[in-house]
Amino acid sequence: MKTVSPCSGEIVKIVKTMCARDCPDACWLDVTVDNDSIIKVDASTDNPVTNGLTCPRALGDPERTKSRDRVMYPYVRKDDSSPEFTKASWDDAIDLVTSKLRQTIEEHGRESVLLLDYAGNCGVISSGYSKRLWNALGVTMTDYTICSASGHAGLHLHYGLSYGCQPQDLCTKKTIVFWGFNAKTSSPHQWALAATARRDHDAEIVVVDPRKSETALLSDQWIGPKPGTDVALAYGIAHYLITNDLVDMDFIKSHTHGYEAYRDEALKWTPERVENVTGVSWNDIKRLCKMLTENGPSVFMLGLGLNKSMTGAESCRAVSLLPSLLGQHRGIYYTNPSGRYIGGDSTGSGLTMKKPKVVSMISLGERLAAGEFRFVYVFGMNPAMTLPDSNKVVQGLQRPDVFLVVHDSHITETTNLADVTLPAATYLEKDDIYTSDSHPYVRMGRRAIWPVAESIDEHLLMKTMAEKLDVQEPWVYADPWEEMSEGFKEAFEDGSFSDLMEGKELQLRHRPLDYYPTGTGKMEFSSTSAPEGVSALPVQMKIPVEKDEFIMLNSAIPNYTHTQFTEVYGDIPCMAWINPADVEEMGLNPDAKATLYNDLGEFVVDLKPTKQVSRGVIWCPREAIDSEGNHQNGLSHGTPQPIGGGPMFNTVKIRVRQ
């Protein structure tokens, strides 16, 4: 659509695109552009899920696109000891990067090169095809476990695949349980659909979270268990349903495996035991169970925060089993991509005989600090801030024998450590394909403006480097649009990939809810695929905490996606919610700063006494830097979870001093 600007006389156009950020909602956006400058970003009304609603990040994109923190040109550090950078031409920067890369492989082997990337841009081309060079070289890669991996691993043990409820089906539910999921902030469209179900169909909303979050404040019932006790709470719910003959036994017999072993375990979780472990009253559990059994169809919405703890995978698998007791196929939501029919090999990992060394993303700090890698290439993330054990991550990236290259659109804590910083295009400056973790609707991600200054996209840079390195594999240079046409051949309900390219808005197909690719072909209460050392049934792990220790939780706040948007909305607040009773008992001054600390480091915060967290719990917004330059994730240990290898951000043990 085009209109004429009344002020400038220039052509104003509306570009229809999708958001590329690491967020489940993937908003459809209408971007107003005047003279190759973004004037505003509006929520499109064309998508039935993201319909007319978007978040502060998208609204802040016009300012972020032309921020003074943009990386406009290639920059090279003057020398190893200098904090200063000099502007370089692209030819010189590429020559330096590729010569260092070639030299490192020749002298130290391909395993000494680390590709470090994640979901800063979720486009198929930006995050997928841009890895082909690195797979052709066979360098070291990570296991990509920083976000949702442990939850997926836990669900796979019982379901085979981790997909579930579609967001548009929330309006048919009568009880909606957000478990470890602050949807009001982290998935506002799914929250809006739940609120609509309550308004129009008398649905009830329950929130299970140790913190009384924004979602909990708006719920019909808040249940606040002690951190990491979700397995016990889930078994308590099962105990009530079983002992009160509220289980759908016909469904159990037809569609599940291993119920008897599960029932025996659930019956061990008596009301007294559950109350003692979780801190939740049995009356609250009874109230929830009555909603689940008397209201009608329900759904358990599992948050990514639930999976980011010592007990994360166990918690996700335990909660996911409850819908089957009520006779519901996949009555859960975690993420939905595994239920789709998108094929292809965007990264090229299956096109080469060179199998890369794969290392844990969670324990990367130790490896970096030990000097395991000599060349590190970063894109799509800010690892100096977002990885656990961040002090060691920074220490490793600062080593004089490590050559660090960062391709990013904005200056970050990681670009400040780089030997070479290369300017990247934002998602509004390139074409790509984006799909949502939740809803099934897709439109082309169209370029709204030309790349700012000398910034270029990830795929073009990858091909340029491959040519410079004389990489011979033809699949490195393949046209991603042609390949995606084949990979998406079976993907859509209502059209083809060429329809999508021509501007048609489509819906993805998804597998049926009663499909279980497990060993038995059924939903397995007792997993037949649990590896050695992993219980077939969910296990409540113990989290030992000493008397003066707190469990520190962290989660997102509305204006930020991880560390993005500080240049628009200012620094992420360094504050800590703490229960007033803990403040009084410890003799803390709530008007003075406090230091959170453990064996890894310390973090200075402003205290906010509130009953929205239980005693023994501290909550902080992520991922901040304090006034002393300390990173919040400097307090997080780099120990992977036993199932799925995910992080433990929500079971960080700390002490407080003033």
Q: Judge whether residue 7 has pLDDT over 50.
A: no
The closest of 32, 16, 34, 26 to 57, measured between CA atoms, is: 26
pLDDT score of 260: 98
What CATH number corresponds to the domain at position 310? 3.40.228.10
User: Domain count of the chain?
Assistant: 4
What CATH number corresponds to the domain at position 581? 2.40.40.20
H-helix or E-strand spanning residue 378 = strand 375-379
Q: Judge whether residue 501 has pLDDT over 70.
A: yes
List Cα–Cα distances, 17 to 20, 243, 308, 501, in angstroms. Answer: 9, 52, 31, 12
Q: Is residue 531 part of a domain?
A: no
Which of 13, 41, 65 lies at the terminal end of a domain, its last residue? 65
Residue 238 burial class via C-beta count within 10 angstroms: exposed 0-12, middle 13-18, buried 19 and up: buried
**237 and 289: one domain?**
yes
**279 and 130: one domain?**
no
DSSP label at 200? H
pLDDT score of 83: 80
Q: Are strands 652-657 and 550-555 parallel, antiparallel or unpaired?
A: antiparallel
Q: Rounded mean pLDDT of 392-411?
A: 98
- Is there a cis peptide before residue 623, judged by omega within 30 degrees of 0? yes
Per-residue pLDDT band at 534 (split at 50, 70, 90):
very high
Which of 12, 34, 65 lies at the terminal end of a domain, its last residue? 65
**329 and 192: one domain?**
yes
Q: Judge whether residue 490 has pLDDT over 80.
A: yes
Distance CA 344, CA 333 (A): 25
Q: Is the pTM of this model over 0.85?
A: yes
**Quick check: helix, strand or coil at residue 615?**
coil
Distance CA 189, CA 173 (A): 15
**9 and 39: one domain?**
yes
**178 and 239: one domain?**
yes
Q: Rounded mean pLDDT of 73-101?
A: 93
Q: Is residue 513 part of a domain?
A: no
pLDDT in tens, 183-204: 999 999 999 999 999 999 999 9
Partners of 302 in the beta sheet? 179
For the chain, percent of residues with pLDDT exceeding 70: 98
Ranges of beta strands (E only) in 380-419 are 403-408
**347 and 485: one domain?**
yes
**230 and 120: one domain?**
no
Q: Is residue 539 part of a domain?
A: no
Q: Is residue 394 part of a domain?
A: yes
Per-residue pLDDT band at 10 (split at 50, 70, 90):
low
Q: Is residue 6 part of a domain?
A: yes
Distance CA 531, CA 284 (A): 35
5-19, 242-256, 590-604: which range is least confident on average? Answer: 5-19
Q: Is residue 215 part of a domain?
A: yes
Distance CA 4, CA 439 (A): 34
Q: Judge whether residue 8 has pLDDT over 50.
A: no
Which tokens sit at 215?
């979602």
**Quick check: helix, strand or coil at residue 304?**
helix
Per-residue pLDDT band at 2 (split at 50, 70, 90):
very low
What CATH number corresponds to the domain at position 24? 2.20.25.90
**171 and 255: one domain?**
yes
Per-residue pLDDT band at 355 (split at 50, 70, 90):
very high
**153 and 142: one domain?**
no
pLDDT in tens, 431-463: 999 999 999 999 999 999 999 999 999 999 999
Which of 33, 65, 97 lies at the terminal end of a domain, its last residue? 65
What CATH number corresponds to the domain at position 368? 3.40.50.740
71-85, 589-603, 638-652: which range is least confident on average? Answer: 71-85
Contact by Cβ (8 Å): 439, 86: no
Q: Is residue 218 part of a domain?
A: yes
**30 and 156: one domain?**
no
Q: Judge whether residue 166 has pLDDT over 70.
A: yes
What CA dihedral angle connects 121, 127, 130 and 136, to 10 degrees? 150
76-90, 163-177, 205-219, 225-239: which range is least confident on average? Answer: 76-90
pLDDT score of 434: 97
**317 and 203: one domain?**
yes
Q: What is the CA radius of gyration of the chain?
A: 25
Q: Judge whether residue 80 has pLDDT over 80.
A: no
**49 and 190: one domain?**
no
Q: Judge whether residue 95 has pLDDT over 60.
A: yes
Q: Is residue 388 part of a domain?
A: yes
Q: List Cβ neighbours of 114 (8 Å cut-off, separation of 6 or more).
A: 139, 140, 141, 142, 359, 373, 375, 376, 377
Q: Which residue bears the tokens 């029919």?
A: 341
Per-residue pLDDT band at 78 (split at 50, 70, 90):
confident
Cα of first residue to Cα of last residue in the chain, in angstroms, is 59
Q: Which domain covers residue 22, as residue numbers?
A: 2-65
Partners of 115 in the beta sheet? 377
